[in-house]
Amino acid sequence: MTDQAQPDSTEETHIDESHVITERRQKLKALREVAKVTKSAVFPNDFKPEHQAAALHAEYDALDKETLDPQAIPVVVAGRMMLKRVMGKASFATIQDSTGRIQLFINQQSLTDENSEAIYEAFKHWDLGDIVGAKGAMFKTKTGELSIKVSELRLLTKSIRPLPEKYHGLNDQEIKYRQRYVDLITSEETRNTFKARSKVMSAIRSFMTGNEFLEVETPMLHPIPGGASAKPFTTHHNALDMQMFLRIAPELYLKRLVVGGFDRVFEINRSFRNEGLSVRHNPEFTMMEFYAAYTDYQWLMDYTEQCVRAAVTAVHGSAVISYDGKEVDLSKPFERLTIVGAIQKYAPQYTLDQLNDAEFLRAEILKQGTKPFDHAGLGALQLALFEETAESQLWQPTYIINYPVEVSPLARASDADAEVTERFELFITGREMANGFSELNDAEDQAARFQEQMKAKEAGDDEAMYYDADFIRALEYGMPPTGGCGIGLDRLVMLITDSPSIRDVILFPHMRAEA
């Protein structure tokens, strides 16, 4: 089995060869020999399907056999053969195209080609997974299934690897992620998830452009990583001989555009963070950030809510959906709670006095198993306790508002309370979905905040932000008062498609290198 003569195959193809593959390579070899004699292509590209499975079902499923059959409506289809039932001189095959499945009925008499006998015999040896093309007439079988009586049948692509088991499909999570193409062939659920993802993207895009937002593209290679607190991926540009970073967020570039006079911009962006993986973290992920001049965080909350609702409704036709077996109601106005308010609601064991007592909070957070930073102020301690006790309980859409200044270096401080910012995060199903705020547009304040971040970085916080002098220079030209928000689209798609892991909504999630 290890040293069979296979002159056409390269060395690496032997790595996971099975006897099934060997068998199919033999069939392909035979096809090549026939093609040489007949001077035809082994992998022809001259067959053009004119119909798709879903449309055929939509058009003809409702017609009864007596009405449909006599019309002998001609169709041309192509797809991957997923099921095959040979019964002597007649056969059924089920093919799958990008819209669905349709059954073919093949018998020698119906084939019009002069070599019908040879074609039928050849068909018997075609494999599940092969791509075939068929011309024929619509009809219904005696059990009423819409089918095509095939008059012309061609093998368009020979498949060498066997498909997963035809009934149970692919169950191995690792193969589903590593070989998504196989998962997509076999799982309608997976196909639907990514079709839904596409709908979410276009719904959001049209919602944004419908509200006068300009779609823009900003750099993914950053000389200074900025816009979020996260560890960046580092790379190097050879010609410029400079270190560069994959962006952790597009924020600072989008705000430069607001300075430039684009009052409403958005970017559906891939960002990269060099951090751990989990069911809700992938090292590269997609979000939508948008900025609107002359708005504030109250406006942003209203707008974000509408945007999320539009995306959910685009897929489900309703804003009340189910996630992990529990209802999520996005139809009503989203609740808004301060950090302290959320703790009081979801962890009522704490008194207001305790929640305003930094020493108590510090001790309580340690008890929960987290060590707060030494320099953490009251607000940061309250936030830490919120994350420990309340965050995961925010199942229904909830805005948490007024984040402390010390953890919000790009947000505008509240005019009423200099310790907090006009910032919110949106939680749904206990997960952060969005983060937005009235932007800090005071260049000197922003410069001071960057200085604070640099001190934190020197003190060992390797996720503190860098000082971005050009961004400060931009603000010095004057940025109008602006609201800006980022929505985690992978997580939103998880919610909308009832997916338990972010990997289920990313076509090719990151995995360790194969052994």
Residue 459 interacting with RNA (CB under 7 A): no
Name the segment binding RNA (CB under 7 A); options: 136-144, 238-246, 302-310, 473-481.
136-144
Minimum distance, C-beta of residue 170 to RNA, in the bound complex (Å): 5
49/162 with CB nearer RNA: 162
Binder to RNA among 35, 54, 55, 86 (CB under 7 A)?
Answer: 86
42/319 with CB nearer RNA: 42
Closest to 288 (Cα-Cα) out of 335, 254, 328:
254
Residue 142 interacting with RNA (CB under 7 A): yes
Exposure string of 404-426, with b = 16+ CB inside 10 Å and e = fewer, is bbbbbbbbbbbeeeeebbbbbbb
Whole-angstrom Cα distance, residue 439 to residue 445? 12
183/305 with CB nearer RNA: 183
| DSSP 8-state assignment for residue 338 | E
Binder to RNA among 90, 122, 224, 347 (CB under 7 A)?
Answer: 90
408/482 with CB nearer RNA: 408
Whole-angstrom Cα distance, residue 148 to residue 134? 9
Residue 438 interacting with RNA (CB under 7 A): no
Name the segment binding RNA (CB under 7 A); options: 106-114, 317-325, 347-355, 438-446.
106-114
Binder to RNA among 29, 89, 332, 473 (CB under 7 A)?
Answer: 89
218/313 with CB nearer RNA: 218
Residue 170 interacting with RNA (CB under 7 A): yes
Compute φ and ψ for 239, nearest 5 degrees.
-65, -40
Asked if residue 383 lies in contact with residue 407, where contact means CB atoms within 8 angstroms, the answer is: yes
Residue 128 interacting with RNA (CB under 7 A): yes
Other beta carbons within 10 angstroms of residue 99's beta carbon come to 16
Contact mark string toward RNA, 358..397, x via CB under 7 A: -----------xxx--------------------------
Query: Please, what sign has the CA dihedral across residues 16, 18, 20, 23?
Result: positive
Minimum distance, C-beta of residue 89 to RNA, in the bound complex (Å): 4
Minimum distance, C-beta of residue 477 to RNA, in the bound complex (Å): 23
88/325 with CB nearer RNA: 88
H, E, C per residue of 474-492:
HHHHCCCCEEEEEEEHHHH
314/398 with CB nearer RNA: 398
316/466 with CB nearer RNA: 466
User: What are 94's strand-pairing partners?
Assistant: 83, 103
The CA angle 175-178-182, to the nearest 5 degrees, is 60
- Return the axis-axis angle of helices 378-389 and 339-346, rounded to nearest 10°: 40
Minimum distance, C-beta of residue 23 to RNA, in the bound complex (Å): 4
Minimum distance, C-beta of residue 240 to RNA, in the bound complex (Å): 28
89/375 with CB nearer RNA: 89
Asked if residue 329 lies in contact with residue 396, where contact means CB atoms within 8 angstroms, the answer is: yes
Find tokens 């099975």 and name the residue. Answer: 18
Residue 418 interacting with RNA (CB under 7 A): no
Find tokens 């709908």 and name the residue. Answer: 199
Give all strands of the β-sheet with 284-293 in edge-to-edge order. 214-215, 264-272, 284-293, 482-488, 431-438, 423-428, 398-401, 335-338
Contacts (CB under 7 A) with RNA, residues 15-74:
16, 18-21, 23, 27
Contacts (CB under 7 A) with RNA, residues 265-324:
273, 275-279, 281
Whole-angstrom Cα distance, residue 257 to residue 291? 9
Binder to RNA among 33, 50, 174, 470 (CB under 7 A)?
Answer: 174
Contacts (CB under 7 A) with RNA, residues 203-242:
228-230
Q: Kindly state the number of chain residues that form the binding site for RNA, as judged by CB under 7 A.
A: 76
Residues near 42 by beta carbon (within 8 Å), at least 6 away in sequence: 28, 31, 32, 35, 158
Residue 87 interacting with RNA (CB under 7 A): yes
Minimum distance, C-beta of residue 209 to RNA, in the bound complex (Å): 24
Name the segment binding RNA (CB under 7 A); options: 152-160, 307-315, 329-337, 498-506.
498-506
Closest to 440 (Cα-Cα) out of 489, 402, 405:
405
Name the segment binding RNA (CB under 7 A); options: 102-110, 256-264, 444-452, 468-476.
102-110
45/143 with CB nearer RNA: 143
Residue 435 interacting with RNA (CB under 7 A): yes
Asked if residue 189 lies in contact with residue 497, where contact means CB atoms within 8 angstroms, the answer is: no
Minimum distance, C-beta of residue 510 to RNA, in the bound complex (Å): 8
